[in-house]
Amino acid sequence: MTDKQDREPFYVTTAISYPNGDPHIGHAYEMIATDAIARWKRLEGRDVFFLTGTDEHGIKMVQTAQAQGITVQELAERNAARFKALAGALDISNDDFIRTTEERHHRSAQDLWRKMLANGDIYQSSYEGWYSVRDEAYFDESELSEDGEGRKFAPSGAPVEWVVEPSYFFRLSAYQDRLLKHYEDNPDFIAPRERRNEVMSFVKSGLQDLSISRTTFDWGIPVPDAPGHVMYVWVDALTNYITGVGYPDTESESFRRYWPADLHVIGKDIVRFHTVYWPAFLMSAGLAVQHRVFAHGFLTVEGKKMSKSLGNVIDPFALIEEFGIDPVRFYCLREVSFGQDGDFGRDKFINRNNADLANDLGNLAQRSLSMIGKNCAGVVPKPGAYSEADQALLTLADTAITRASEAMDRQLVHEAVAALWEVVGEANRYFASQEPWALKKTDFERMGTVLYVTAETIRRVTIPALAFIPGSAGKILDFLAVSDADRLMSDADDAGALKPGTVLLTPEPVFQRFERDKAGA
């Protein structure tokens, strides 16, 4: 691979999670999808920097710690370690893990604050309004709902209370026109499109200044030169994206190289923070605005919203323990349309694993490569002239790789997976209809061609699959004796790169089949 400096940088982030509880499948989902995007870009030869982490300040952390009888530092320490462990357990290829309690981040957030202040965008006043502790946000009266007893609730369903406090404000109202111009000039700034429309109409309806400091608790980043005030957790949280690449040192190599970020991947509930507040903060501080925000949907479990009270929160560690990493990753990427809501269902999960991984890719690799082992002394045979069927499969691999790349450019991860698995499905039909086991007796040379075409097709789809199921795809490429240096998209594009005469390794089963639960099945 060429030197890092010669490759085009690509900076991608997840949201940083609140470590006030254990990570759940929604957190795992976001990590997996972002990891697939990061890995794909690396396969394309980009110099990727991938950041994830934890958002550790705010009143919710304080309240959870109190309820558990531990200090908030202890809570943050314990649960941040769980999120870090989750990234490891899911084979996430993040380059750094940021915690907002780190000193580097305090320095960064305070510097950003000073820049916004120097630009005249921060002023002191007092704030009163309907505040939801759970959402850590104030809401407009018009956004609230009410129950029969006069209690008011935020759109999330969380109760709100009337709060009055001295507060610093950010002059968000001054950014309405600049933001709208930014959306107009950069039609790809917010995806999917329906999110962009929502944000634009929200901004068009008028922006109010934003309360950005708190005085009712001290678990946060101190506002510079303002004793008693800590920063509103979202100012601090969003800043993680620049801290991660070296801010406030804007002259550092990493900041110059990676900022502005190419992509923030987040859930649909926090679009406003990332597409209204964050670009406004950056503009105020004289920094470049990130290129793009992609909002994914929410996962439900067996069709129901996850909640502690329903007891249906899925522990991703338990899932990995039971099924392994790649089946979990694959399900998330294949079954859910990225950008739409999706569902985790146990039967659907097992069906997907058995059909696409164990049967289609697993069996095909195992059967074809072990035939090469037994009949060709483990050496890739030299193909003869291609038949129409051979050509059709090879061409399909070509077009599918192109389609997958185009889909990944727009973060349509599910479309990319589907395009590749269409080839896997077709390769199975090809293998079954060509009957190489029968050709062995009738036309040995033709058998060699069929095995070559099959193995070459497996190589070509398995390289891009490294982004989705890195461990299993890596094993299959090992069996095919594809060296680490030959596992880039340019190698997948390179038809015929599997050289006749290559000595293969003995294949072993890569995927497992799982039984659906008897009860209720």
The residue with tokens 């900022």 is 259
What is the pattern of x (binds ligand ME8, CB under 6 A) and - over residues 51-70?
----x---------------
Q: Work out how close the CB of 399 gets to ligand ME8 at its nearest, in angstroms, rounded to a whole number.
A: 32
In the complex, what is the shortest distance from the CB of residue 26 to ligand ME8, in angstroms, rounded to a whole number? Answer: 2
**CB nearer to ligand ME8: pick between 56 and 209:** 56
- Alpha-carbon distance 17 to 30, whole Å? 10
Residue from 97, 202, 217, 298 binding ligand ME8 (CB under 6 A)? 298
Q: How far is the CB of 243 from ligand ME8 (least distance, A)?
A: 11
- Residue from 10, 11, 18, 127 touching ligand ME8 (CB under 6 A): that is 18
Question: Cα–Cα distance between 216 and 264 in angstroms, integer?
Answer: 31
Rounded to whole angstroms, how far apart are CA atoms 18 and 75?
11
What is the closest distance, in whole angstroms, from the C-beta atom of residue 415 to ligand ME8 in the complex?
19
The whole-angstrom separation of Cα 214 and Cα 234 is 11
User: Taking the complex as a whole, how short is the minimal distance between the CB of residue 25 and ligand ME8, in angstroms?
Assistant: 7
Name residues whose C-beta falls within 8 Å of residue 295's C-beta, 6 or more positions apart in sequence. Answer: 190, 191, 192, 195, 266, 267, 268, 270, 271, 339
Binding of ligand ME8 at residue 237 (CB under 6 A)?
Answer: yes
Strand 230-231 versus strand 210-211 pairing type: unpaired
The DSSP symbol for 244 reads: T
Backbone angles phi, psi at 213, to 5 degrees: -140, 160
Could you give the angle at which helices 413-434 and 444-465 cross, rounded to 10 degrees?
170
Cα 458 to Cα 423: distance, rounded to the nearest angstrom: 9
DSSP-based three-state secondary structure for 12: strand
Q: Is 266 in the site for ligand ME8 (CB under 6 A)?
A: yes
Nearest to ligand ME8 of 183, 234 (CB atom):
234
CB of 369 to ligand ME8, least distance (A): 37
25-33, 205-213, 223-231, 504-512 -> range binding ligand ME8 (CB under 6 A): 25-33
115 has binding-site annotation = no
Residue 470 beta carbon to ligand ME8: minimum distance, rounded to whole angstroms: 21
- Residue 408 to residues 189, 401, 411, Cα–Cα distance (Å): 16, 10, 5
Number of residues that bind ligand ME8 (CB under 6 A): 19
Applying the rule CB under 6 A, the residues between 302 and 331 that interact with ligand ME8 are 306
Among 10, 11, 29, 113, binds ligand ME8 (CB under 6 A): 29
**Minimum CB distance to ligand ME8 smaller for 54 or for 457:** 54
| Of the candidate residues 16, 319, 451, 482, the single one contacting ligand ME8 (CB under 6 A) | 16
Q: In the set 26, 53, 316, 470, which binds ligand ME8 (CB under 6 A)?
A: 26
The region of 9-17, 178-186, 435-443, 459-467 touching ligand ME8 under the rule CB under 6 A is 9-17
Between 280 and 488, name the residue whose CB sits nearer to ligand ME8.
280
| Angle, CA 194 vertex, CA 190 and CA 198 arms, to 5° | 80
Q: Closest separation between CB of residue 388 and ligand ME8, Å?
A: 45
The gap from C-alpha 89 to its chain's centroid, in whole angstroms, comes to: 15
CA atoms of 244 and 13, how far apart (whole Å)? 10
Considering only 9, 12, 15, 455, the residue that binds ligand ME8 (CB under 6 A) is 15
Select the span of 91-99, 181-189, 236-244, 249-257 touching ligand ME8 (CB under 6 A).
236-244
Neighbouring C-beta atoms of residue 166, cutoff 10 Å? 15
> Which pair of tokens denotes residue 279?
């670009």
Taking the least distance from each CB to ligand ME8, the nearer of 303 and 501 is: 303
Alpha-carbon 183 to chain mean position: 23
Kindly give the residue spans of alpha helices, DSSP state H, lying in 187-290.
Answer: 193-204, 233-238, 240-243, 253-258, 271-272, 278-284
Tokens of 383: 């193909």
Helix, strand, or coil (residue 209): coil
Contact flag: residue 117 with ligand ME8 (CB under 6 A): no
- Residue whose Cβ sits closest to ligand ME8: 267
Residues of the binding site for ATP: 304
- Interface residues with ligand ME8 (CB under 6 A) are 15-18, 26-27, 29-30, 55, 237-238, 240, 266-267, 269-270, 298-299, 306
Residues of the binding site: 304
